[in-house]
Amino acid sequence: MLDFRLLKQRIGVEKVLQSYGMLDKLRRRGNRLAGPCPIHKGDNPTAFRVDLDKNCWHCFSVCGGGDVVDLVRSIERCDHARAARILDYLACGPDSEPVPVSKPSTPSPSFAPFTFTISLDPRCDLLQRDKGISVATAIRFEAGIARRSPFLRDTVAVRLHDFDGQPLGYCGRRLRPDDVARWGKWRFPPGFPKADTLFNAYRALPGRARGVVVVECPWGAMRLDQAGLPGAVALLGTSASPTQLRWLARAPTVFMLLDGDPPGRLAARRIAQTLAPFTAVHVVDLPDGADPDDLSDDHLRTLIPLPPPSS
């Protein structure tokens, strides 16, 4: 059992605020911090106070106050036991494994969200023939051929959103083998903050309380949704950032359904090990060389025994 007294000695309020990226708007005067409350995201410039000598904080608006344990409980809306586990991991220092409470990476200053809608043709061989994605599913996820976009030429495009569902732009799956060999399968906007996004997170959020499924690319999330498993998100690769881990850790169950190749299997186990102290994690091994979108809808439902959505 973790000792709360020792945890409070190992890590302070300032370190926790820094780990959550909440120090930016706080002003320092001696051993005190003040500013708008970063927990409820208020705008009163004096509502949130921190006494670094006493290692305590207080929000004079709605959040209350207390010690470092109370701070984590208020941020995460969790019980004492989970707050202690988070603090224990956070106190391990920079040489430990990445954990869900680490500070999110800073988006590239060169990235500017593209909020306009591009006309896409959802009927294409890659989606229907190769990936088994229906026209209706492609329309729902805003995927298809962009015939009038120079940036997305010779790709199958899909729209990207942030965690709140705000549009960020489009990425494209390259179609020409020469382009894939030279630059890789996917093309993203310059400076795109991949580590600070999670494909389909805003659609999956209402069902996160049932559990989530993690895949590598958008096609897998789309196929799972089509199979009646809407709580699927894509990492857009094989690594999980602290921001993505924090979102996943709030689900009661996480199924790792990465590709059936060595990088996918290694990544699935690494991410599962990081999430294990915070939630139940199941690693689902696919056949050699198989992606989630290679499987039938019935097979996907068999692999992921999530409870049905509530009516």
Q: What CA–CA distance (Å, rounded) separates 16 from 35?
A: 16
Q: Where in the chain is the domain with CATH 3.40.1360.10?
A: 201-303
How long a stretch of residues is the chain? 311
Say which amino acid occupies 267. A
Q: Which residues pair with residue 58 across a beta bridge? A: 49, 65
Angle at 202 between CA 196 and CA 208, to 5 degrees: 105
Query: Which strand ranges, in their side-by-side order, compose the sheet holding 32-35?
Result: 27-29, 32-35, 48-51, 56-59, 64-66
Pairing of strands 48-51, 56-59: antiparallel
Other C-beta atoms closer than 10 Å to the C-beta of 3 total: 11
* pLDDT tens track for 121-133: 999 999 999 999 9
Q: Closest Cα to residue 189, out of 111, 108, 105?
A: 111
Sign of CA dihedral 259, 265, 267, 270: positive
Q: Closest Cα to residue 122, out of 143, 140, 151?
A: 143
Q: Where in the chain is the domain with CATH 3.90.580.10?
A: 4-90
Reduce the DSSP state of residue 187 to 3 states and report it.
strand
Q: Of the CATH numbers 3.40.1360.10, 3.30.2010.10, 3.40.190.10, 3.40.50.1100, which one belongs to the domain with range 201-303?
A: 3.40.1360.10
* pLDDT tens track for 112-163: 899 999 999 999 999 999 999 999 999 999 999 999 899 999 999 999 999 9
Tens place of pLDDT for every residue, the chain, 311 residues?
456 677 777 788 998 888 777 888 899 999 999 999 999 888 899 999 999 999 999 999 889 999 999 998 888 777 787 777 777 766 654 333 434 443 444 444 568 899 999 999 999 999 999 999 999 999 999 999 999 899 999 999 999 999 999 999 999 999 999 988 888 899 999 888 888 899 999 999 988 888 999 999 999 999 999 999 888 999 998 888 888 998 999 899 999 999 998 888 988 998 998 898 889 999 999 998 899 999 999 999 999 987 656 54
Per-residue burial over 227-261, b = 16 or more CB atoms within 10 Å of its CB, e = otherwise: bebbbbbbbbebebbbbbbbbbbbbebbbbbbbbb
CATH of the domain spanning 4-90: 3.90.580.10
Give Cα separations from 93 to 87, 106, 111, 132, 196 (angstroms). 11, 20, 30, 45, 22
